[in-house]
Amino acid sequence: MLDQEFEANTQTELNLNHLAEKFGFERNVMEQVLSKKKLPLLWISAQDCTGCQESFLRNSFPGIEELFLNWISLEYSELLSFSSGYQIESHKENIINSNFGEYILVVEGSIPTNDEYLTVGGCSVKEEIIHAARGAKAVFAFGSCSSWGGIGAAKPNPTGAISLQELLPDVKVVIVPGCPPIAEVMVDCLLHFYVYDVLPELDKKGRPKKFYECTVHQQCHRKEFFDKGLFAEHYDDEGALKGYCLFKLGCRGPSTFNACESCSWNEGLCSPIGAGASCIGCSEKNFWDRGPLCFRKTKA
Ligand code: FSX
Ligand code: SF4
Ligand code: F3S
């Protein structure tokens, strides 16, 4: 009996040390994390392509199943919830009422000011978001659409699309722009809030500072070619094959703040620039309306 107890305690010790090391926490922080109640999450989709949630699902460290089984309780998502229709809408309402002030709200997609463009369960998405935000402990805009208006707000903006911060001027909205945003950045924001009960450090625009303080260019693996003046002139020329800098092909890395080159995508496998495409500045405001994508109008 004593042996069994000793073994169980040793196992707990090992697990705790292992987890603390794995997630880079102090041991006592890990202890607190493990004893915490899961944080309810409502994820509302407005005018989006669902790329943000698709990206989110591909987080590798921790895996999304680990996140949802241990720390974050996904209570509402049009894409991922098992139920739908009346059932899921009433469940959302129950969560809002029974966890008022205790849940987090994530919004992806821009919000049409013209109500008829998007309704959910008979209510405009605008009202749905305002209602859910009232009892939220923290509010996150995942993706360029909810962060800035994104493609939905591109000229001529037929739906009158606005960003989440424009819809909720009195709420501190954490924005995680990118079309789509990087999974690790979204998960880091949620976990940071779960573990420490405060928002991560933000820059002036409301972005988590540690992921948006550098441009794509500053961390680009092709930067040595930029510095040496070695550029690809076409996407299929000798320079492109050698991995030269894509600046002359319109790369917007120098004016784009995002962590694509440091975090990388798909479990660190690659990035747009790594795959041979120039950065189109998808995490910047109005990127869609800022001239041509993937080529440069004026000769560089
Ligand atoms: Fe927008 Fe997200 Fe781009 Fe798509 O939902 S940021 S269009 S990747 O999906 O909102
Ligand atoms: Fe900068 Fe783009 Fe060239 Fe990379 S490919 S070094 S981001 S201009
Ligand atoms: Fe977007 Fe540029 Fe990264 S296009 S995904 S910010 S490399």
Indicate the pTM of the whole model.
0.91
- What's the CA-to-centroid distance between 273 and ligand 1, angstroms? 20
Query: Rounded CA gap, 160 and 157, in Å?
Result: 5
What pLDDT does residue 1 have? 55
Query: Is 273 close to ligand 2, i.e. is its CB under 6 Å away?
Result: yes
Query: Is 176 close to ligand 2, i.e. is its CB under 6 Å away?
Result: no
* Tokens 């369960």, located at residue: 121
Question: Which is the CATH superfamily of the domain at 36-211?
Answer: NADH:ubiquinone oxidoreductase-like, 20kDa subunit (3.40.50.700)
What pLDDT does residue 300 have? 65
- What's the CA-to-centroid distance between 144 and ligand 2, angstroms? 21
Cα separations (Å) of 134 from 78, 103, 180? 20, 10, 26
- What's the CA-to-centroid distance between 179 and ligand 1, angstroms? 5
Q: What is the CATH number that goes with domain 217-289?
A: 4.10.480.10
Nearest atom in ligand 3 to 179's CA: 1
Q: What is the dihedral of CA 204, 205, 208, 214, to 10 degrees?
A: -80
- What's the CA-to-centroid distance between 177 and ligand 1, angstroms? 9
Q: Which residues of the chain does CATH 3.40.50.700 include?
A: 36-211
Per-residue pLDDT of the chain in tens (300 residues, 90 and over written 9): 556 666 656 666 667 777 777 767 777 777 777 778 999 999 999 999 999 999 999 998 888 988 998 899 999 999 999 999 999 999 999 999 999 999 999 999 999 999 999 999 889 999 999 999 999 999 999 999 999 999 999 999 999 999 999 999 999 999 999 999 999 999 999 999 998 999 999 999 999 999 999 999 999 999 999 999 999 999 999 999 999 999 999 999 999 999 999 998 988 889 999 999 999 999 999 999 988 887 877 776
- In the sheet where 103-108 sits, what is the strand order? 72-77, 39-45, 103-108, 136-142, 173-176
Query: Is the omega angle on the peptide bond into residue 292 within 30 degrees of 0, that is, cis?
Result: no
What pLDDT does residue 291 have? 84
DSSP state of 266: T
Beta strands 161-162; 119-120: pairing state: unpaired
- What's the CA-to-centroid distance between 7 and ligand 1, angstroms? 49
- What's the CA-to-centroid distance between 127 and ligand 3, angstroms? 32
Protein residue whose Cα sits closest to atom 8 of ligand 2: 247
- What's the CA-to-centroid distance between 246 and ligand 1, angstroms? 25
Protein residue whose Cα sits closest to atom 3 of ligand 1: 179
Protein residue whose Cα sits closest to atom 3 of ligand 2: 245
Nearest atom in ligand 2 to 279's CA: 2
Query: Is 257 close to ligand 2, i.e. is its CB under 6 Å away?
Result: no
Query: Is 63 close to ligand 2, i.e. is its CB under 6 Å away?
Result: no
Nearest atom in ligand 3 to 287's CA: 4
Query: Is 214 close to ligand 1, i.e. is its CB under 6 Å away?
Result: no
Query: Rounded CA gap, 98 and 135, in Å?
Result: 10
Query: Is 108 close to ligand 1, i.e. is its CB under 6 Å away?
Result: yes
Query: Rounded CA gap, 140 and 146, in Å?
Result: 9
Query: Rounded CA gap, 256 and 253, in Å?
Result: 5
Nearest atom in ligand 2 to 231's CA: 3
